[in-house]
Amino acid sequence: MSSSNLNRYPIPAQTIRIEQRVVNSRFIATIGHADSVEAAQAFVKAVRAEFADASHNVYAYKVGYGASITESTTDDGEPPGTAGRPALAVLHGADIGDVVVVVTRYFGGTKLGTGGLVRAYSGAVRAALEALPVTERVEKRTVMFTTPYNLYERVKLLIGAHTGELEDETFGVEVDIIVTFPVDDVEPFTAALRELSSGQIEVIAV
């Protein structure tokens, strides 16, 4: 998938949790969807509240996709660079957008060392990503137009052929129609509608 197409990109389909043990420590990775910085922060806050007794709750998130992303992370008390940055690096390298992960650590009494921590946190995020169900974010746009009755049935067929979702229709002298399309389908639909109506029907963005 091209990273330049921000109209469609892979995102988490749900929130999942994966637990791993490294020496005596438990690493619990909770990963899910966040389509804004506020949503990512709320996700982190909820997981931290759930695991308030944990040694550390390290988070990383990547909102957006491709070159158009906002990202953040924290080590949450672990030695600098051993937790948050490795977690974010794994997210950064994954072909997925709008994703947030919190890796919760319950310290087991044995220090892992700098390299051990990096491997443990990055490994937890990698395992969570591998198990994560993915769906597609599709940006949509709503348009409106007016059609004469003699074209109404053919217009409805055009809407279906371009994966449009009918939002509203008002029957008056003519039919006022409001439809939502995937952004990529707006232009092809508009061109097809123009051809069908010989240029008489004008599509207006809502």
pLDDT at res. 66? 81
Q: Is residue 3 part of a domain?
A: no
Q: Are residues 37 and 115 in the same domain?
A: yes
pLDDT at res. 6? 66
Q: Note the pLDDT tens digit of each residue in 41-79.
A: 999 999 999 999 999 999 999 999 887 889 999 999 999
Range 81-87 average pLDDT: 95
pLDDT at res. 161? 92
Q: Are residues 127 and 35 in the same domain?
A: yes
Q: Are residues 53 and 148 in the same domain?
A: no
pLDDT at res. 111? 86
Q: Which tokens go with 97?
A: 């957008």
- Neighbouring C-beta atoms of residue 2, cutoff 10 Å: 8
Range of the domain at 167: 139-205
pLDDT at res. 1? 36
Indicate which CATH number applies to the domain containing 151.
3.30.70.240
Q: Note the pLDDT tens digit of each residue in 9-49.
A: 999 999 999 999 998 899 999 999 999 999 999 999 999 99
Indicate which CATH number applies to the domain containing 108.
3.30.230.30
How far is it, in rounded angstroms, from Cα 200 to Cα 171?
A: 18
Q: Are residues 117 and 15 in the same domain?
A: yes
Number of domains making up the chain? 2
pLDDT at res. 2? 37
Looking at 136, 166, 195, which one is the last position of a domain?
136
Residue with tokens 């939002």: 167
Let me know how long the chain is.
206
Q: Are residues 154 and 81 in the same domain?
A: no
- Residue 130 — left, alpha, or beta (φ > 0 → left; ψ -120 to 50 → alpha)? alpha
Q: Which tokens go with 167?
A: 């939002």
Record the pTM.
0.72
Q: Are residues 39 and 77 in the same domain?
A: yes
Q: Are residues 164 and 105 in the same domain?
A: no
Q: Are residues 108 and 149 in the same domain?
A: no
Mean pLDDT of the chain: 91
Q: Note the pLDDT tens digit of each residue in 135-189.
A: 988 888 899 999 999 999 999 999 999 989 999 999 999 999 999 998 888 899 9
Q: Is residue 14 part of a domain?
A: yes
